[in-house]
Amino acid sequence: MADYFENLVVQKLALIAELNDPINPELYQTYDVKRGLRYVDGRGVLVGLTQIGDVIGYEVKDGQKIAVPGKLLYRGYDVEDLIKDTDSHDEFGFEQTIYLLLFGQLPTRNQLEEFQSFLGTRRILPDNFTEDMIMKAPSPDIMNKLARSVLASYSYDDMAEDVSISNNLRQCIDLIARFPTFAAYAYQAKRRHYDGKSMYIHNPLPELSTAENFLRLIRPNKQYSRLEAEILDLALILHAEHGGGNNSTFSIHVVSSTDTDTYSAVAAAVGSLKGRRHGGANMKVMEMMDDIKANIKDWSNESEIREYLRKIIRKEAFDRTGLIYGQGHAVYTVSDPRAILLRDKAAALAKEKDMLEEYNLYCTIERLAPQVFAEEKNSDKKICTNVDFFSGFVYTMLNIPRELYTPIFAMSRIAGWAAHRIEEVIAGGRIYRPAYKNVLAPKIFIPIEDRK
């Protein structure tokens, strides 16, 4: 009964808050507010400078946006070249990507091997951390547990408040190394506590890559194929960095600008990435694809697929938002290079897993969705398939549980976050303080005995 009345009180207070907080949308135009720090045409407001990553999807000529094929640069290098080099040497490339992002240069063979070895030694969690911080306090949401693990790391660091560059670097490398272990152990604790299933705690092996270790940690038998590890490694490379303007990386800059500790800044970024408008987007893609697969009888019938996409856009199907998830991007217009690279590599895995029929369905939707969007909206706006469209499918083929999809994103993006954290500490020097316009007129105060 107490819970019942408590809920009534909360609902009543929520209604009061909702009724008192709306803002007339027209006021945003009146005061020329850049909502979401974006201009009307979708371009981001320039708020900082970076040398870490660049996202290219259009050029601006004479004040007009001109769509161009997408490019993703890490420290000035095209990520496609980084991946080609990885493939040509038949090795895993995420560790080289981390080195490049942190230190701004491509490592020599000796530098890379030394860095890989050091990273490997940092994967095991501090004494008693697994039991006290993860097993005794499991969470139904792995991203929530990941953020808590980052904050808990503060208590295991005797130099947690030291913001020198060398200490920042040590802390960042530790977090990069431990994120896969945090996520895997949090998943195992969740399995036992919330799902009633067996829990398997394996130690990470220092000689293995990040991708290999993660697959080893989440599987009862610790087994994985070379192709499975390679495509997960590719996904980690592609998600590692995406410029300073994406929400979670911007969060790192904002929080770091206050001169706080590394753990507080990184935890804020994890919280940002958790959102479905950001790192959780691939979950919406998977939910949409579940709906599409359930409602389209013949996955090879393009006419049937096209008509169902129309229903989604018309808000007649799936979640009635009118959105085809995994289509469109804030920067990329003609193409998202990450989606192309992941799609092409996924073909081999689909063949190995006997999932080519489903893979072909994804490719058909990728091709048809921009056409249907243009027809339904009567628009010449260019949209392309983004990386979220294929990443969830890849993780499905890897038999990775859905609750780990966004944590995998975090395992990768911590490399970019770390680089931006250090960049802000070195080159920032000024706390972020944007302005908000108050649009509520002053009120005359009413004593409590006169209020109605």
Interatomic CA distance for residues 424 and 242, integer angstroms: 16
Interatomic CA distance for residues 376 and 353, integer angstroms: 36
Torsion, CA 20, CA 25, CA 27, CA 30, rounded to 10: 180
SS3 136: coil
Interatomic CA distance for residues 401 and 385, integer angstroms: 23
Contact between residue 156 and residue 126 where contact means Cβ atoms under 8 Å apart: yes
Q: Which residues contact 405 (CB under 8 A, 6 or more apart)?
A: 282, 283, 286, 391, 392, 395
Amino acid making up residue 402: R
Interatomic CA distance for residues 216 and 441, integer angstroms: 60
Interatomic CA distance for residues 355 and 348, integer angstroms: 10
Interatomic CA distance for residues 416 and 304, integer angstroms: 41
- Please tell me which residue in 85, 202, 278, 291 is annotated as part of the active site: 278
Q: Are strands 77-78 and 64-74 parallel, antiparallel or unpaired?
A: antiparallel
Interatomic CA distance for residues 392 and 385, integer angstroms: 13
- Strand order from edge to edge, sheet including 77-78: 53-61, 64-74, 77-78
Contact between residue 286 and residue 392 where contact means Cβ atoms under 8 Å apart: yes
Interatomic CA distance for residues 148 and 443, integer angstroms: 41
Known catalytic residue at 388: yes
- Please tell me which residue in 174, 329, 336, 420 is annotated as part of the active site: 329
Q: Are strands 64-74 and 53-61 parallel, antiparallel or unpaired?
A: antiparallel
Known catalytic residue at 329: yes
If you write DSSP's letter for every residue of 375-413 in order, what string do you get? HHHT------B-HHHHHHHHHHHTT--GGGHHHHHHHHH
Known catalytic residue at 21: no
Task: State CA 198 to chain mean position distance.
Answer: 28
Interatomic CA distance for residues 288 and 365, integer angstroms: 12
Active site residues: 278, 329, 388
